Amino acid sequence: MAIISSSNQEPSKRIDKEKRIVENIKLGEDSNELKLRPQNIDEYIGQKKLKESLKISLKAAKQRNEAIDHILFYGPPGLGKTTLSMIIAKEMGSNIKITSAPALERPRDIAGILMTLQDFDILFIDEIHRLNKVAEEILYPAMEDFSLDITIGKGHSSRIKRIPLKKFTLIGATTKMGSLTSPLRDRFGIINRLEFYDIDELQKIIERSSKILNIDIDSEGALEIAKRSRGTPRIANRLLKRVRDFAQVNNKNIIDKEIANLALNILNIDEKGLDQIDRLLINTIIDSYRGGPVGIETIASAINEDITTIEDVYEPYLIQIGFLNRTPRGRIATIEAYKYFKKL
């Protein structure tokens, strides 16, 4: 239940606060960063099975003239959860409001956003596993019954008023599916996992981005960047920009394999896409702990890195490429890791 109280803040301060909580995206906005995001589902590269399923759900919702069911996207960061949400809004011809769970500190934060939504609008909440308990409970009737329960008054004189909401769609994104409570997870009608991208898909993304950014690149240069992008489009686009800087400073008119290789080596990113922390993490397990098993707290202390960062940023890719195993007893470096780092 939401407890809404009047505010003594000046109107301008309240507006500034809301801007910090929610971002209203204009889907036709002209900027390179937004242009890098595909504008419709057919332009979206990768996640083939997810796209096919989503196309059916979108078409069915539009035929019924209904809001699409609430959607939960989960998987490692940088794989396109926000981009897909913006595409869904555009396909539905609706607006999208983007926020993150940590920004929704008080009941009136989430209640205020819900009351501004119109029919078919999309509310995208990033890091939804970090919602506090009160905000999560406010979402239950909003998601199920499109209503907001507000407690008016205090003590024995308090009463609950139910306010109807427009038929909106909540899209939640999380890197930690297991951290969601069952009541929240069960209220999503569509649940999809985003997978790491293969090298061919990343090469296509890099070639598309290079055209938007007016970067001359050949297929071998794009392939070299793709190989080192950790299966992640966000990283692919970031590396493309850094290689562009290197080519520009060295008066190279086109990014080819040689230029890409030189630039990425300077950035300390090897042929598997591993950076300094990845290599330090695996080598620490092998050299200091005989390959494991070793606890995550011990690893974090040994390499002076935050546990959450290790779990969310480094481990998913290391597990994906078969260099690391998680077990009940701790982390273990695999034979593949031993071979790659020539530790056998």
* Residues classed as catalytic: 81-82, 126, 175, 234
Assigned token pair, 48: 């083939």
Cis peptide before 164 (omega within 30 of 0): no
In the Cβ-directed half-sphere of 26, how many Cα atoms lie within 13 Å?
Answer: 4
Please give the order of strands across the beta sheet that includes 122-126: 23-25, 96-100, 122-126, 169-174, 71-74, 190-193
State the amino acid at position 174 in one-letter form: T
Cα-based distances in Å from 127 to 64, 130, 235, 311: 30, 6, 19, 14
Q: Bridge-partner residues for 2, per DSSP?
A: 150
Q: Which phi-psi region, left, alpha or beta, contains residue 342 (left: φ > 0; alpha: ψ -120 to 50)?
A: left
Q: What is d(CA 272, CA 159) in angstroms, rounded to the nearest whole number?
A: 60
- Residues sharing a CB contact under 8 Å with residue 234, sequence separation 6 or more, in sequence order: 77, 78, 79
Q: What is d(CA 252, CA 254) in angstroms, rounded to the nearest whole number?
A: 6
Cα-based distances in Å from 255 to 12, 199, 215, 235, 260: 48, 18, 8, 17, 6
Contact 59, 9 (CB under 8 A): no
Which residue carries 């200091």 as its tokens?
A: 288
Q: Which helix (H) or strand (E) holds 204?
A: helix 199-212
Q: Which phi-psi region, left, alpha or beta, contains residue 332 (left: φ > 0; alpha: ψ -120 to 50)?
A: beta
Which residue carries 């695999």 as its tokens?
A: 334
Q: What is the CA radius of gyration of the chain?
A: 23
Any alpha helices (H) in 37-129, and if so which ranges?
A: 48-64, 81-92, 107-116
